[in-house]
Amino acid sequence: MNRFLLLFLLAIASFQLNVLAQQKILHEAVERAEKEGFSGVILVAENGKILFEDAMGMRTYENRILLHEDDTFELASLSKQFTAMMIMMCEEKGLLAFDDQAAKYIETPYPGITIRHLLTHTSGLPDYQAIMDAHWDKSKVAGNQEILEYLREYAPVKSFEPGEQYEYSNTGYVLLASIVEKATGKDFVELMREWIFQPLKMKSTDIRSLAEKAEVQTFAAGHLKNKEGHYVNANTFHSSDYTVWLGNRKGPGRVSSNVEDLLKWDQALYSNTLVSEETLEEAFTPFKLTNERRSYYGFGWEIEPKSPFGKMVMHTGDNPGYKTIIVRFIEENKTIIILNNNAHPDMMRLVEAATLSLGKW
């Protein structure tokens, strides 16, 4: 996600809030997006009440099955907020501490990295996907164990010393999931179901294998255009689709859900259902780098202290065929969730329109 692009859109929203017509803003944006081929679901809520919800496009283009509002999407990197929550829950249970060394739990060739560095993308770890892409047999499916083995075997040079700067790191979130498993002695997927999805009654939410996804009739497949310009299932591009040959990884992605389950998750974060208010505040606090500058990424959330509606936390996701976003204006309990399954470029236009509309309901 380009944070500066979102801030630009929010600045526009702040400027225009008092001059644009009420809900017409969002309705027109949705109509335009649908005409331009956007496929996805959008939800806008305030205080947990749904103000606007709509589905457009196709669940599967091959069978011409229309999307529905309760369809399930791959969340991609939105999954990181759930991984971060698992770490926070472990911390509150006394199973680990945010400033523990990662090496206390898992073997890596990179000393000096703490759990806090992993959470905030300030570890300097190299990209595991590049190593796996170069060396992994893509006819097989890799998970965290294989990823960690390849990092130890090839030990690519880290980008910087821990805490020096921010650099988005999927590798860090692979390590976090493995740390949860080491600290609890339990499988990360099963534990996430037990600790988060089931208590919050997120019935459409899970970490699913390819076979499990195929069993979900309401699963919205990710689509990309082929050489002829037609949308086809993104899994068709097997060698370039890391979600297939890295299909057993845990931590940086792989949670699938729908907009209404994500609203349950959003609302649970206003209570002490999962962790205390004090712990959650840490998640929404910028990280201070070693040069005293601040990095505006907390524990699984990008942070903007000032927006048209006060403090905002958000995250995007991007997998082959999918683009996703959740925006939370936490001081006013306003929420925008958009899940897209044809990698369409119009998503940020919808975020802008939804933000504008929130000031006029």
The number of angstroms, rounded, from the C-alpha of 191 to the middle of its chain's C-alpha atoms is 18
Annotate 258-270 with b (16+ C-beta within 10 A) or e (fewer): bbbbbbbbbbbbe
> What residues contact residue 110 under an 8 Å CB cut-off, 6+ apart?
102, 123, 124, 125, 158
Neighbours of 224 (CB within 10 A): 19
**Nearest-angstrom CA–CA distance, 192 and 316:** 20
Which DSSP category does 195 fall into? I
Catalytic residue numbers?
A: 77
Phi, psi (rounded to 5 degrees) for 22: -55, -115
Neighbours of 69 (CB within 10 A): 14
Cross-strand pairs, 326 = 315, 337
- Are the C-beta atoms of 292 and 51 separated by less than 8 Å? no
> What residues contact residue 308 under an 8 Å CB cut-off, 6+ apart?
10, 13, 14, 17, 329, 355, 359
Distances (CA, A) of 21 to 82, 288, 352: 36, 41, 14
